[in-house]
Structure 1
Amino acid sequence: MENTIRIHNTLSGKKELLTPIEPGHVKIYVCGITSYDYCHIGHARSTLVFDMVVKYLRHRGYKVTFVRNFTDIDDKIIARAAEQQTTPHELAERFIKEFYTDMDGLGADRPTFEPRATENVQEMIQLIAELVEQGKAYPAGGDVYYAVESFSGYGKLSGRNIEDMRAGARIAVNEQKRNPLDFVLWKGAKPGEPSWESPWGPGRPGWHIECSAMSRKYLGETFDIHGGGQDLIFPHHENEIAQSEGANHKPFANLWIHHGFVTIKDEKMSKSLGNFLTIRDVRENYDPEVLRFFVFSTQYRNPLDFSETALKEASSGLERLYHTAADCDALASRPVIKKGKSAITDKVWQRMKTLEQRFLEAMDNDFNTAQAQGIFFDTSKSLGKALRSLPETPLASDVQKICGCMDKMRKLATVMGLLQADPVTWLQARESERSAGIKISTEEIEAKIKERLAARIAKDWAKSDEIRDELLNQGVVLKDNVDGTTWSPK
């Protein structure tokens, strides 16, 4: 298999050729959710980005082992469980189920393995013990800390200098740590909290050690790709590297993929800021494919600014592609002739037949879905030209070219989970959604259009504008063209 996929590696700061450790087999680990609340659009982006990465790698012929964990024990889970008068286990289980409801609804495939932190505590204890034995971690007051200074590569992922970090750190009163930068691997048990037995007394694992232990268990000491959001680069992923490489004395992950934030008015969407929308909030008004189209309209490393306008633009863009698909499907049922001159120009056919090549070039270039969507639109435009060029009874080979190109686009679009529905059914659903906002009958709309036409003939522009505005308030948009006036739902 020819390696042509280049991925931006956060560790090196440049695009690198994907070269799997095991030829033809890519192993990926992605940090999953902490299950204490409903998922927001930021979580949707993370899930969909890596769903796309896995789908594309498989499309290119790779075997992919994809591991994504659940953090099902954590300070936030314990606090939320206490608020809701339930157990941390019950709360975590509830929101794992809700996660599946959201992500299955968005069409994301489930990973190969989905380990939970609480099911892998012994693996974490083993890894901590190895670090203590090697002098890279130390017990203190019932806790166990990682000694950051024992790992010479600390800061290499985030580009931070350990001396600068130490100068800016502050030590809390009665702090047990030797160095303010040291981070916890094992937390001593507190009354009423879940705990497990360990060589250092009862307690529970710290957040960072979870991913180091679970990735080693399922993918080995060194694997191909580690992924997550930009907010995880420091300290979470930096600490994972320190733990894993400190214990194993081998590179942890060869490539690091980090997606950008979802923002609202250029501010990061987060629960702490209270400016987030849950996936189910958005799903109330938008089809899952519209949300996927919106997410992939921006290359994964760039910020994705969420707005109602952006979602409507995504819906409109996807609708254009579905209209082309519907037109191509309709063509397949028309009578044809076997011989004759092609009605499709060489220029249009060239754009159609290079669809896959151009798509692969875009996706091989660090999964550039935004460019790939542009190629879909360009191909849709070419298909439209080809369709319009056909005579009433088209040449069979022309029909085959057009329908074959559309089938190819649908197949490629599965990488982003797009164009998977029956076009007519999908378009009818969108029309029904828009029509639901109209507060006036079709007969009344047509009567108003006639009244407005009379006003325009009489050059009563004020009356014409008044009728237009009246219909707009009723959920109807008018559009004037050379053939007259048409209307559509707002």
Structure 2
Amino acid sequence: MLKIYNTLTRTKEEFHPVHPGVVNMYVCGPTVYNYIHIGNARSAIAFDTVRRYLEFIGYHVNYVSNFTDVDDKMIKAAREQEITVPELADKYIRAFLEDTTAVNIEPATMHPRATDNIPEIIKFIQRLIQRGYAYAVDGDVYYRARKFKHYGQLSGQSIDDLEVGASEHVSADEVNKKADPMDFALWKAAKPGEISWDSPWGAGRPGWHIECSVMSTKYLADTIDIHAGGQDLEFPHHENEIAQSEAATGKKFVNYWMHNGFVTIGKDNEKMSKSLHNFVTVHDIIKHVDPQVLRFFMATTQYRRPIQYSEDNLVDAQNNLAHIQTAFNNLEYRKNDATDGDDTTVANQLATFRSSFIEAMDDDINVQNGIAVVYELVKFANRYTEKETVAKDAIGNIQKLLKELLLIFGVKLTATGQIDDETIKQLIAKRDEARRQKNFALSDQIRDDLKAQGIIIEDTPQGTRYRKE
């Protein structure tokens, strides 16, 4: 039985969707004013992996992930680039789709834009005003946070503690407008020259939080199964979504809240972010790193845990993926002399691997334990290919299971030829370091993996050389 850690209750809970066999899942998407960095990609990759596992165990997943295509950052970036906000949005939505396709993220069932839902946003705000949860002041509309009795529950904070923090980030202008420092904007009056839409409160644009409440209820349901995003969205974004949505519909908004850990970088494990100027964009990294390796690196850490980004960790992922690919290639090679038929022992063992994998992943999508099962399957595959006699159907079934399980991590296994020169050089550097540290097991493994792919390593007094057979 699948269990998911619910941020709202801070416990692992058995997963029971509202409608049997169907999962309605909403994942907060990017604000499209720049290329996505590795930290942004973490969320997209983590929850694409969750989605793939849900589909693997038989669910139909309705997966909605939005684009925030108007806000202060976008207005500023568009002004700097001397283009319109819609032009900026189109540019970076294309880039987002190119980058996420490169790392094999499945297209969302729907990618709605905030600006395509302005009429629905206005109606939603009007409903909140009618119910006494919102008020208009000089063209702005604010939500009465203190009126919602569960405010602060998701982030595990009292509203009085939250008010202290909120007071430090409220401008003098907002202090004069808001009835309470905790209140947050649903609609923002437009400044001269800014993009805007007509509304009952004057020309303006939606606040950030309201768009996700509107689009999740419009495109999925008033009560959805899973809402996901980065840990930094717990407060205020998701906290505000709950307050808005439940005040408007009178129903529970989300049954399971899932939040992914950060990507950290550097010796101090600093969170990667644009504001800290310590980020690496996916657009840039896939120019010199195989997107499959990046995907494998990101997808094989359990979604709630942080990921330490470093060149060494990427090389480790590359090496591990090459080891899996080598096993797959060896299976393909043995088809040439395999006998017809199946092998009962192999079939039984594969069933055990599948069961063990599901057991691991059912524990809050524990990909680290899941990939450990894959590594055991690879060892089994290697032992089988070394046998004097192998069965063709057995080989095909091992390959099929390897492909199925790796695809959950977003990696496509195919019988392949030689790897590229840059990858070879990185693996050789890893092997040289392993030899210096007298880690001969790793050194031999890298040598054997390369040999299986037609790359011959030669150790000379002048250094390590390689040639292709």
Percent identity between the two aligned chains? 43
Given that 1:28 and 1:223 are in contact with CA atoms closer than 8 Å, whether structure 2 keeps it comes out as yes
Shift of 1:349: 7.8
User: Residues 70 and 269 from structure 1, CA distance in 2 versus in 1: closer, same or farther, beyond 3 angstroms?
Assistant: same
C-alpha separation in 1, matches of 2:420 and 2:306: 28
Q: Higher mean Cα deviation, 190-199 or 160-169?
A: 160-169
- Structure 2 partner of 1:264: 265
C-alpha separation in 1, matches of 2:413 and 2:51: 21
State which structure, 1 or 2, has the greater radius of gyration over its C-alpha atoms: 1
Pairing partner for 2:321 from 297, 312, 318: 318
C-alpha separation in 2, matches of 1:219 and 1:108: 20
- Structure 1 partner of 2:213: 212
C-alpha separation in 1, matches of 2:162 and 2:190: 29
SS at match of 1:26: strand
Letter in 2 for 1:121: I
SS at match of 2:101: helix
Shift of 1:44: 1.6
Which residues of structure 1 form unaligned runs of 5+?
439-475
C-alpha separation in 2, matches of 1:436 and 1:299: 26
Asked whether 1:361 is paired with 2:353, we answer no
Shift of 1:421: 4.1
Letter in 1 for 2:180: N
Q: Kindly report the root-mean-square deviation, in angstroms, between the aligned alpha carbons of the 2 structures.
A: 2.3
- Structure 1 partner of 2:52: 55
Given that 1:338 and 1:395 are in contact with CA atoms closer than 8 Å, whether structure 2 keeps it comes out as no
- Structure 2 partner of 1:173: 172
Shift of 1:104: 1.0
SS at match of 1:332: helix
| 1:9-28 pair list within 5 angstroms | 9-28=6-25
Pairing partner for 1:410 from 379, 383, 403: 403
Letter in 1 for 2:89: A
C-alpha separation in 1, matches of 2:172 and 2:464: 72
User: Residues 188 and 364 from structure 1, CA distance in 2 versus in 1: closer, same or farther, beyond 3 angstroms?
Assistant: same
Given that 1:296 and 1:370 are in contact with CA atoms closer than 8 Å, whether structure 2 keeps it comes out as no
Pairing partner for 1:119 from 74, 99, 116: 116
Asked whether 1:429 is paired with 2:419, we answer yes
- Structure 1 partner of 2:126: 129
Given that 1:72 and 1:116 are in contact with CA atoms closer than 8 Å, whether structure 2 keeps it comes out as yes
| 1:68-217 pair list within 5 angstroms | 68-168=65-165, 169-170=167-168, 171-174=170-173, 175=175, 176-217=177-218
Letter in 2 for 1:377: Y
User: Residues 477 and 58 from structure 1, CA distance in 2 versus in 1: closer, same or farther, beyond 3 angstroms?
Assistant: same
Given that 1:323 and 1:423 are in contact with CA atoms closer than 8 Å, whether structure 2 keeps it comes out as no
Instruction: With a CA cutoff of 8 Å and minimum separation of 6, indicate the structure with the bigger relative contact order.
Output: 2
SS at match of 1:65: strand
Which residues of structure 2 form unaligned runs of 5+?
429-455
Pairing partner for 2:384 from 365, 383, 386: 386
C-alpha separation in 1, matches of 2:464 and 2:375: 25
Given that 2:299 and 2:410 are in contact with CA atoms closer than 8 Å, whether structure 1 keeps it comes out as no
C-alpha separation in 1, matches of 2:375 and 2:150: 46
- Structure 2 partner of 1:278: 281
Asked whether 1:308 is paired with 2:301, we answer no
Letter in 2 for 1:200: W
Q: What does the per-residue CA deviation read over 1:54-95, in whole Å, with 9 as the maximum and x for residues that have no partner?
A: 111111111111111000001000000111111111111110
User: Residues 376 and 487 from structure 1, CA distance in 2 versus in 1: closer, same or farther, beyond 3 angstroms?
Assistant: farther
Q: What does the per-residue CA deviation read over 1:408-450, in whole Å, with 9 as the maximum and x for residues that have no partner?
A: 12112111122x243323xx13346436999xxxxxxxxxxxx
Letter in 2 for 1:280: H
Given that 1:48 and 1:292 are in contact with CA atoms closer than 8 Å, whether structure 2 keeps it comes out as yes
SS at match of 1:144: strand
Given that 1:46 and 1:259 are in contact with CA atoms closer than 8 Å, whether structure 2 keeps it comes out as yes
- Structure 1 partner of 2:370: 372
Given that 1:67 and 1:111 are in contact with CA atoms closer than 8 Å, whether structure 2 keeps it comes out as yes
- Structure 1 partner of 2:453: none
C-alpha separation in 1, matches of 2:279 and 2:371: 26
- Structure 2 partner of 1:227: 228
C-alpha separation in 1, matches of 2:44 and 2:369: 20
Given that 1:353 and 1:405 are in contact with CA atoms closer than 8 Å, whether structure 2 keeps it comes out as no
Count of aligned pairs: 432
Given that 2:264 and 2:308 are in contact with CA atoms closer than 8 Å, whether structure 1 keeps it comes out as yes
C-alpha separation in 1, matches of 2:427 and 2:313: 20
Given that 1:351 and 1:379 are in contact with CA atoms closer than 8 Å, whether structure 2 keeps it comes out as no
C-alpha separation in 2, matches of 1:101 and 1:141: 41
Q: What does the per-residue CA deviation read over 1:118-156, in whole Å, with 9 as the maximum and x for residues that have no partner?
A: 000111111111111111111112101001111000001
User: Residues 331 and 143 from structure 1, CA distance in 2 versus in 1: closer, same or farther, beyond 3 angstroms?
Assistant: same
C-alpha separation in 2, matches of 1:386 and 1:422: 19
C-alpha separation in 2, matches of 1:437 and 1:338: 37
Shift of 1:158: 0.3
Shift of 1:315: 0.3
C-alpha separation in 2, matches of 1:131 and 1:142: 16
Shift of 1:350: 6.3
TM norm structure 2: 0.87
Given that 1:352 and 1:382 are in contact with CA atoms closer than 8 Å, whether structure 2 keeps it comes out as no
C-alpha separation in 2, matches of 1:337 and 1:243: 63
Q: What does the per-residue CA deviation read over 1:378-409, in whole Å, with 9 as the maximum and x for residues that have no partner?
A: 11112212222x22xx153xx43343122212
TM norm structure 1: 0.84
Given that 1:35 and 1:70 are in contact with CA atoms closer than 8 Å, whether structure 2 keeps it comes out as yes
Letter in 2 for 1:238: E
SS at match of 2:36: coil
Letter in 1 for 2:220: L
